[in-house]
Amino acid sequence: LQKPTANITLGFYSDDLDDGLQSRLKLEAELRTAVEQQQFYLVYQPQIDLSSDRVVGVEALLRWRHPQGESVPPFRFIPILEEMGLISPLGDWILAEACRQQRAWQLQGYTLRMAVNLSPAQFEQLDLPAKIQSIVQAAEVDPGQLELEITESLAMHNPEATIETLHRLRHMGFKIAIDDFGIGFSSLEYLLRFPLDTLKIDRAFVKDITRGRSDRAIVRALTSLCQGLGLTTIAEGVETQRQRDYIDALGATEIQGYLISPPLEPAALIQLIDNYATHAPTLSKACQE
Ligand code: C2E
Ligand code: MG
Ligand code: MG
Ligand code: MG
């Protein structure tokens, strides 16, 4: 906000700039209302274990139901909420809502690992581990079934502080995933020092996996490293069966992507799991016989 204002004062006025500023101010006002009136909701994308072909987890992803009707994707508003200082209270709600949903599913007989994304501003709160613990306890969710995702770039911003916070969260029993891995230039030294359970291979490496030798080499190196360290590897953004076959052959443990399903509302997710349950046992029975 500061830059355009300064430009206007200095006389570098243009209609374009004015339009940009106007729409930004409008968006900020709308977002303030959205937080007050709770116009957000979560969708859930399934994560498939490649060896059993079962849904073993879901990732909670934030959506904004704009009063004008459309559902707004997070890249259009999360960075702005961060700048406005509104992401931390919203982050508390995201965690509580994901836990509430997970508990509800569990009571219906569906035990699913729940992955929740943490934003940089959230991660910087000193009381984050205690806060997460109290939200999860209140929801009566097993911390071992909650996976906290931080991006590689967040983790590398202040690696020493990250390591300490991750240790605290892990002692409380939470699972830790490093998200969008491979594009942030982490050193291997840090990868070894972060206490992790899961590494999510960025979809940039999955995209050209059927074509590029170098992407295949990177994925193979990551999966064998993770195997050696006892980490789960999730390949993100798997869209085709051929990509899935390559990813499987290269040793990843799980996949997530449009091939399986886009993020879904709760009822649709349960329907997808039920479909898997009716198909998969038939297959494995056939294999045993
Ligand atoms: P992410 O955590 O890496 O989430 C995966 C993104 O990839 C999701 O986008 C998902 O819809 C998309 N995706 C999944 N499968 C495919 C595929 O096969 N192809 C393609 N092209 N895309 C696929 P989404 O929901 O738009 O979220 C984008 C990013 O916004 C997330 O990336 C995450 O960084 C952030 N985000 C989303 N929800 C939250 C949240 O609750 N809190 C925070 N702090 N960040 C969030
Ligand atoms: Mg994520
Ligand atoms: Mg990701
Ligand atoms: Mg990503």
Q: pLDDT, tens digit, for every residue of 33-84?
A: 999 999 999 999 999 999 999 999 999 999 999 988 889 999 999 999 999 9
Q: Nearest C-alpha to atom 3 of ligand 1 is from which residue?
A: 180
pLDDT at 17: 63
Parallel, antiparallel or unpaired: strands 54-65 and 40-49? antiparallel
pLDDT at 4 over 60: no
Q: Nearest C-alpha to atom 22 of ligand 1 is from which residue?
A: 237
Atom number in ligand 1 closest to CA 256: 15
Alpha carbon of residue 93 to chain centroid? 15
Q: From 61, 77, 254, give the residue whose CB has the most ligand 1 atoms within 8 Å, as the site to mutate.
A: 61
Atom number in ligand 1 closest to CA 202: 3
The closest alpha carbon to 44, from 254, 280, 287, 260, belongs to 260
> pLDDT category, 92, cuts 50, 70, 90?
very high
Q: What is the mean pLDDT of residues 93-100?
A: 97
pLDDT at 166 over 70: yes
Q: Nearest C-alpha to atom 17 of ligand 1 is from which residue?
A: 237
pLDDT at 189: 81
The closest alpha carbon to 238, from 186, 194, 274, 202, belongs to 202
> pLDDT category, 254, cuts 50, 70, 90?
very high
Least confident of 63-72, 133-142, 280-289: 280-289
> pLDDT category, 272, cuts 50, 70, 90?
very high
Q: How far apart are CA 62 and CA 44, in angstroms?
A: 9
Q: What is the pTM of this model?
A: 0.91
Identity of the amino acid at 104: A
* DSSP class per residue in 17-33: HHHHHHHHHHHHHHHHH
Calculate how far, in angstroms, residue 27's C-alpha sits from the geometric centre of ligand 2. Answer: 24
Half-sphere exposure of 137 (CA within 13 A, CB side): 8
Alpha helices in 37-127 (DSSP H): 78-84, 87-107, 120-123
Look up residue 270 and give its two tokens. 């349960």
Q: How far apart are CA 255 and CA 49, in angstroms?
A: 7
Ligand 1 contacts CB of residue 46 (under 6 A): no
Higher pLDDT, 215 or 1: 215
Per residue in 182-199, pLDDT (tens digit) is 877 667 788 889 999 999
Per residue in 192-243, pLDDT (tens digit) is 899 999 999 999 999 999 998 899 999 999 999 999 999 999 999 999 999 9
Look up residue 90 and give its two tokens. 């919203």
Calculate how far, in angstroms, residue 1's C-alpha sits from the geometric centre of ligand 3. Answer: 29
Q: From 183, 236, 247, give the residue whose CB has the most ligand 1 atoms within 8 Å, as the site to mutate.
A: 236
Least confident of 21-30, 99-108, 234-243: 21-30
pLDDT at 287: 41
Ligand 1 contacts CB of residue 243 (under 6 A): no
Region of residue 85 (phi > 0: left; psi between -120 and 50: alpha; otherwise: beta)? left
Ligand 1 contacts CB of residue 82 (under 6 A): no
pLDDT at 265 over 80: yes
Ligand 1 contacts CB of residue 204 (under 6 A): no
Q: How far apart are CA 183 and CA 186, in angstroms?
A: 8
Atom number in ligand 1 closest to CA 61: 38
Percent of the chain with pLDDT over 70: 89
pLDDT at 7 over 60: no
Q: Nearest C-alpha to atom 15 of ligand 1 is from which residue?
A: 257
Q: How far apart are CA 240 and CA 227, in angstroms?
A: 24
Ligand 1 contacts CB of residue 239 (under 6 A): yes
ipTM of the prediction: 0.97
pLDDT at 172 over 90: yes
Alpha carbon of residue 117 to chain centroid? 4
